[in-house]
Amino acid sequence: MHRFKTFLEDRESNPIATSKKSGNFLSTKDGAGMTKKGVAAFRAKNPGSKLKTAVTGKVKAGSKDAKRRKSFCARSKGWTGERGKAARRRWKC
């Protein structure tokens, strides 16, 4: 439990930069998701993370990426904000 508490304290005191200028996130116009650089920064600050970038290309039916896309699209169905809609477009939901 102590290790978990330390992890949370560290995460709150040292988050990744969320501005577009930082290069960690895309603008709403560009698809509103994390960039490869942003994912790398997050994973560096959160060891053991399995965070990945969006599935944006053509995928083979039944592949791991196809399943990730299907899962994301199902989870994000209710997103009605500007960034949510942009992210769903980027994922091709």
Per-residue pLDDT of 9-67, as tens digits, reads 555 566 666 656 667 888 888 888 888 999 999 999 999 999 999 999 999 999 999 99
Per-residue pLDDT, 18: 62
Give residue 76's pLDDT band: very low, low, confident or very high (50, 70, 90): very high
C-alpha distances (whole Å) from 66 to each of 19, 23, 40 are: 29, 27, 22
Answer yes or no: pTM beyond 0.85: no
Per-residue pLDDT, 8: 45
Contact 61, 69 (CB under 8 A): no
* Terminal Cα-to-Cα distance of the chain (whole angstroms): 38
**pLDDT of 3 strictly over 60:** no
**pLDDT of 75 strictly over 90:** yes
